[in-house]
Amino acid sequence: MSTFPIIAISIALIIVALLVVFFVVYKRRGEMPPTDYRVFFILGITWLPLGIATDNPGFWGMGAV
């Protein structure tokens, strides 16, 4: 019997648990930080040329969004 499914399920459960904890802590703070659109611009500028250089449409999409 392979242990890969057990490890994959364990990792997925840990990630889901961490997301739930982060979500609860975030909601308890009650404050919304302002959106930093400069970060989105920098990420787009980074991913778009990388997608073009590697001919990977997934990177193009991440850069365009």
> Which pLDDT tens digit goes with each residue over 15-41?
999 999 999 988 888 777 788 899 888
Contact 51, 59 (CB under 8 A): yes
Q: Decide if pLDDT at 1 tops 70.
A: no
- pLDDT for residue 38: 92
d(CA 50, CA 43): 11
Q: Are 48 and 60 in contact (CB under 8 A)?
A: yes
What pLDDT is recorded for position 32? 75
27-48 burial code (b ≥16 CB/10 A, e <16): eeeeeeeeeeeeeeeeeeeebb
Closest CA to 47 of 37, 35, 57, 33: 57
